[in-house]
Every structure is written in structure tokens, then in C-alpha cells.
Amino acid sequence: MSWQCTSWALREAPAPTATARLVLIALADRCQPDGRSAWPTVDTLMLEAHTSESSVKRALKALEETGCIRRGNQKLAQWDEHGNYVPDPYRSVVWECCMNVTLEHVSEKPGRQARAERAERAERDGDGNAEQAGKADRFRGVKMTPLENGGNKPKSRGVKMTPLNPEREARGVTGDLQGCHQ
């Protein structure tokens, strides 16, 4: 499910007809964020677009002709959601939405990469932060500040409480239960 692709289909895609836009939105809802890898069945698209099989097929053809969608990696549809092999004649077509966007590369260890980039930038700029960036790379623990009172005793808040006098009854509590209904 991709909100990026669905948003593109709703607002920016050059869909030729209203039915084609509904089919495109249903298709985009199943894509990856970059618009790839959607293979809903024609029946699924029919249900979501509230239209007939022939209208869905016409819409897919029109969307493909206008360049909104193209055929993707068809090998993705060779297995169903349960891991069973699907023979060629029974496979759905794999579609890609042509949003003309590419996702940026995500590093396997973004924290380490980010620190290295900061250190490199500091060296390049010559602002003296390279040494601090290097220290940040070596320091892997958590920096903690000590408590004001040593952490042994709770800090006084200025409210004094006196213990109950055992000779007097606690306020509002009586020993007889005669007034209670059982």
C-alpha cells in the first residue's frame, strides 16, 4: 500500500477518463512507494472501481497507452499469497505506475553513515568540527548527568505529612455497619 502512489494517481496522473482514474487509484493503492509491483486481479479492480470487466480492461489499455502505467516484472506474480505456484495462464499482470520518481538509497547503517558524512563535511569546510565528529564516532555509550542529591534520597518538595493518630478513627470511616444495606 503506497500513499505516495495513490496521491499521485488522485491528483497528478494524466488519466484519460474517470473510470481510468478509478482503476488507476485501485492499482496505485497496491504499489510500492516508487510505483512498482502491483498485480491485482481484474476482478479486484472491478470491485474497487465499481465497474464492469470490459471497462477495467479498456481503462488499463488506455492508461498503458497514455504512459500512466507499464508492465512490470511478471515473475513477481508467479506465486500467490500462500506461496503456491501460479501457472502462466492464471497469473495477474504486474503493473508499474509511471510516477517518474526514484527513491533515494537507504544505507544499511544510517547512523554510522551520517556521522561519517558530518566528519567529511567538517573537514572539507575546515570549521574545526572534524575533531568533535571523530569523538562522536568513538563514543558509543550513553552520557548521563548525576542527580543533584546523589540519587540516594527523594528530593524534598516542601510538603510535610503527619502520620495518622492510631487512637483517633480515620476520617469518614466508622466501625459499625448498621447503616449499610446488605
- For residues 16 and 26, give the distance between their C-alpha atoms in angstroms, rounded to a whole number: 16
Percentage of the chain lying above the pLDDT 70 cut: 60
- For residues 39 and 102, give the distance between their C-alpha atoms in angstroms, rounded to a whole number: 20
- In this prediction the pTM is 0.53
- For residues 174 and 50, give the distance between their C-alpha atoms in angstroms, rounded to a whole number: 71
User: In the structure, what pLDDT confidence band is assigned to residue 148 with cuts at 50, 70 and 90?
Assistant: low
Summarize pLDDT for 112-136 with one digit per residue, the tens.
Answer: 666 777 778 778 776 555 455 455 4
Q: In this model, does residue 176 exceed pLDDT 60? A: no
Per-residue pLDDT, 103: 44
Element (H, E) at 96: strand 95-97
158-168: average pLDDT: 66
Contact between 93 and 77 (Cβ < 8 Å): yes
User: In the structure, what pLDDT confidence band is assigned to residue 62 with cuts at 50, 70 and 90?
Assistant: very high
Residue 164 gets which letter from DSSP? P
Q: Which residues of 73-111 are buried (b: 16+ CB within 10 A; e: fewer)?
A: eeeebeeeeeeeeeeeeebbbbbbbbbeeeeeeeeeeee
Q: In this model, does residue 79 exceed pLDDT 70? A: yes
Q: In this model, does residue 147 exceed pLDDT 80? A: no
